[in-house]
Amino acid sequence: MNLIFKNAAIIDRNSPYNGKSADIQVQDGIITKIGSITEVSGHEVIELPGLHISGGWFDTSVSFGEPGFEDRETIANGLYVAAKSGFTDVAVQPNGIPVADKQADIAFLKSKAQGHATSLHPIGALTKGSEGKDIAELFDMKNAGAVAFGDYNKPIADANLLKIALQYAQDFDALIIAFSQDDKIKGKGVVHEGKISTRLGLKGIPPIAEELQVARNLLLLEYTGGKMHIPTITTSKSVQLIQEAKAKGLQVTCSVAVHNLVLTDEVLTGFDTRYKVLPPLRTEVERNALIEGVSDGTIDIITSDHNPVDIENKKMEFDLAKDGTIGLETAFGALMGVLPADTIVEKFTAAKRIFNIDAPAIAEGEKASFTLFTTQGSRIFTNRDILSKSKNTAFLGRELIGKVYGIYNNGKLILNK
């Protein structure tokens, strides 16, 4: 497929054309020319209003259900949704049945993703069955294509197990994902502990449930060395702890979920289970601290934390409903209400370096792998806009700013109409 993208505003810090508008010619998957380009025989011209092009976006936390929960989402449809949402790459969590804790499980995920525009990068379980008892086959899984190791939304209660995992992973330069939550303090909590939880009569999850575990995990990292990623933080103290750890020179990175940057626990007043997520939505004070952490570089990555849940597990009592919201389709438009476009792009692309994934620059001679979008316009997100098989979105009825046009990756162009 040979293409010419006309009059594109380029956002790519690694490109000599960053901040400039130009035409981009792509031939056989390679960028052959950037500049003013007239129509070339055998090339399709792509001209879109307010077109911006950046390096391909990468979502570091996506759940697709398959294998085991195909009713929630399949790999094929999940990758289609990701492409339509602007993501050239996604890291898939190991929370299917069986849990992806062996070389064969990683190979299965990779094989199911072949031929798609969006590339799938499996995360291997850190412990066997994600049960937190024994370390899984990390080295074999890395050889099969796993990009990191962690148990999705499950903390490692055994500090010695995490210590050994961090030490072992250094032998093959692996990234350890340490979800940070003290389950004893969380208890039966389902929402942020505060005024809203008290008013609603719902059991709360205090910020210290996260912060104690962040502090412990950072102390372990300081002792062992290695590389640690702390996903989906939600509190100002967590931001501060990670900032201090980075100042010490520790190899630690962290992410925040889109919904924690945009929403607060004020939305819970109607007991709508679409807003039941883990970690929970917190206060406006904490939300602002997360925004500041993104802006000053403490928070490295923004993730959709896309987690499809079937209706049977969402349309029920709040205490019993499963945690999770889908987020791929709304990630960019929701963030545009709270962050500038260049910051969003940076947080969607910087993760490739952290997870050791190829990130070609927008430059002549490089592989063409980029996201197409505009910052213009706005719309209300409705049920008709949901591409995922599950419909549990926290952003239904909300205004989204700008629009994702699609992606070009793996020699394939995926565009929204």
**What is the DSSP-derived secondary structure letter of residue 281?**
P
Torsion of CA 319, 321, 322, 324, to 10 degrees: -100
Task: Give backbone dihedrals phi and psi of 235, rounded to 5 degrees, phi first.
Answer: -125, 160
CA 382 to chain centre: 22
Residue 122 has φ and ψ, to the nearest 5°, of: -75, 140
Amino acid of residue 299: I
Give the Cα separation of 250 and 242 in Å (integer): 9
Assign 140 to helix, strand or coil. helix
The CA-based angle 408-413-417, given to 5 degrees, is 115
3-state secondary structure of 216: helix
Q: How far is CA 67 from the centre of its chain?
A: 20
Total residue length of the chain? 417
Helices and strands per DSSP (H, E), number in the chain: 13, 18
Active site residue 305: yes
> What is the identity of the amino acid at 223?
Y
Rounded Cα distance between 393 and 399, Å, is 13
Comparing C-alpha atoms, which of 92, 87, 33 is closest to residue 62?
A: 92
Residue 279 tokens read as 């970690």
Q: What is the three-class DSSP state of 235?
A: coil
Between CA 386 and CA 181 the distance in angstroms is 31
Catalytic option among 12, 305, 323, 385: 305
Pairing of strands 57-62, 204-205: unpaired
- Whose CA is closest to 352, among 119, 22, 51, 29? 119
Beta carbons within 8 Å of 270's beta carbon, 6+ residues apart? none
By annotation, the residues acting in catalysis are 305
